[in-house]
Amino acid sequence: MEIVLSGIRSTGNLHLGNYFGALRNFVKMQYENKCYFFIADYHSLTTHPTPKDLHSSVKQVFVEYLAAGLDPEAATLYRQSDVPETTELYLLLNMNAYMGELERCTSFKEKIRTQQENINAGLLTYPVLMAADILIHKSHKVPVGKDQEQHLEMTRTFANRFNRLYNVEYFPEPVAYNFGEELVKIPGLDGSGKMGKSEGNGIYLADAPEEIRKKVMRAVSDSGPTELNQEMAEPIKNLFAIMKAVSKQETIDFYIEKYNTCQIRYGDMKKQLAEDIILFTSPIREKISELSRDEEYLRKVVNMGAEKARESAAKTVREVREIIGFKSF
């Protein structure tokens, strides 16, 4: 049976990118595989949240996972900090991770640019902690969006290096996974780049319908094509990409045809897009508000997940210690 793992940072709510890039694939897999899904709250310390924010955002993401269809009876749903074994594997992997490769990582370079006041060592070793998350359960598949591809590549490098160094075939080579083969990148509403928490350009599963309408109507577009079958500008491609995720095929075909014949009215297209997003998110939003009131259920789910995840993690750390040469007297 294949082992599937995915995760999300605990900073901020779930947006459409998280859903279509990772969660949806995971939800589809949870009954056929051994699945782990976790909330990366250690990782969130790289941006220094306050204790109060740390707790409330972990709770919120937990609730949103459940509302979006994760079944805690089928999958193991846990928070990273409930599995301290991960930090031991992280330390061990750090010994074979090289400065050069960590400094070259795109997400680190990006952080150096955007978070100049706080370039901490946790940012540099972020991919090592992520590799530890994945390797602690010896995962095979990792449902993620396109933005995590490089981190997965680094995880394979660390896994292979460990196997070679100790002459074992211990860690599998985990692959980034999406059902449609190509990894997904859901764009933001600001005309370029991906939808992201740090970018502030997202539509969140918990957004109220009015909020969604406002955001979509404000999305960047242009003044429309001036000749038949004109190549689309980036912001327009982005609107269609979001539409492809939430709308019916006939709706997409209708607006493509309007575009190709220069008859498109972006106001109409955005109205339709907003309504389709609302239709899609509404049941999830309702479930979110129902679940956030059920403290007892949440506690039960968190405890159950922690226990199951630790069992698997403890086994890996025990075996890794042996391989490295830590033996009992």
Among the listed residues 44, 103, 77, 127, the one whose alpha carbon sits nearest the alpha carbon of residue 308? 77
Nearer to ligand TYM, 42 or 225 (CB): 42
Among residues 326, 298, 262, 232, the alpha carbon closest in space to that of 77 is found at: 298
Q: Find all residues with CB under 8 Å of 131, minimum gap 6, and list them.
A: 93, 151, 154, 155, 158, 159
Which conformational region is residue 229 in: left (phi greater than 0), alpha (psi within -120 to 50 degrees), or beta?
A: left
Q: Which is nearer to ligand TYM, 26 or 266 (CB)?
A: 26
**Cα distances (Å, whole numbers) of residue 83 to 22, 77, 298:** 22, 12, 18
Give the span between the Cα atoms of 46 and 222, in whole angstroms: 37
Residue type, 31: Y
Is residue 111 part of the annotated active site? The answer reads yes
Which CB, 111 or 194, lies closer to ligand TYM?
Answer: 194
Alpha carbons 90 and 305: distance in angstroms, whole number: 21
Burial (CB count <10 Å: 0-12, 13-18, 19+), residue 237: exposed
Q: Which is nearer to ligand TYM, 35 or 264 (CB)?
A: 35
Instruction: Quote the least distance from Cβ 138 to ligand TYM, whole Å.
Output: 13
Which of 111, 141, 215, 270 is the catalytic position?
111
Q: Are strands 175-177 and 141-143 parallel, antiparallel or unpaired?
A: parallel
**Torsion sign over Cα 92, 96, 98, 99:** positive
Least spacing, CB of residue 183 vs ligand TYM, in Å: 8
> How many other C-beta atoms lie within 10 A of the C-beta of residue 292?
17
CA distance 244 to 241: 5
Whichever of 34 and 194 has its CB closer to ligand TYM, that residue is 194
CB of 263 to ligand TYM, least distance (A): 30
* Least distance CB 289 / ligand TYM (angstroms): 22
H helices within the chain, ranges in order? Answer: 16-18, 24-29, 41-44, 51-67, 85-94, 99-103, 106-114, 121-124, 126-135, 149-165, 209-218, 234-246, 249-260, 266-292, 295-324
Nearer to ligand TYM, 18 or 57 (CB): 18
Least Cβ distance, residue 266 to ligand TYM (angstroms): 21
Residues at the site binding ligand TYM, with contacts judged by CB under 6 A = 5-9, 17-18, 21-22, 40, 43, 130, 133-134, 142, 144-145, 147-148, 151, 184-186, 194-196
Please, what is the minimum distance in Å from the beta carbon of residue 226 to ligand TYM?
30
Catalytic residue among 59, 138, 185, 197: 197
Instruction: Report, as residue numbers or ranges, the catalytic residues.
Output: 111, 194, 197
